[in-house]
Amino acid sequence: MQQKPPPPGEPDPAAVHHTSTVEQGKFCTAHCTCGWRGPARRARSKARSDALEHASAC
């Protein structure tokens, strides 16, 4: 059986970043499917912008 390398330009499903925000008491933290976690924020909008920044940086 032959193993082909993945074609360039095609996104690797394992490398896709799906971010979400998780509320922890008074704080809100951004989480990503890659295992990344953002800093605890008091504002959910801040946690969301952390998540967006992470997803675009990766």
Binding site residues, Zn ion, CB under 5 A? 17, 32, 34, 36
What is the smallest separation between the CB atom of 50 and Zn ion, expressed in angstroms?
11
What is the smallest separation between the CB atom of 58 and Zn ion, expressed in angstroms?
5
In degrees rounded to 5, what are phi and psi of residue 12?
-80, 120
What is the smallest separation between the CB atom of 22 and Zn ion, expressed in angstroms?
14
User: Residue 23 or 53: which CB sits closer to Zn ion?
Assistant: 53
34-54 per-residue burial string, b: 16 or more CB within 10 A, e: under 16: eebebebbeeeebbbebbeeb
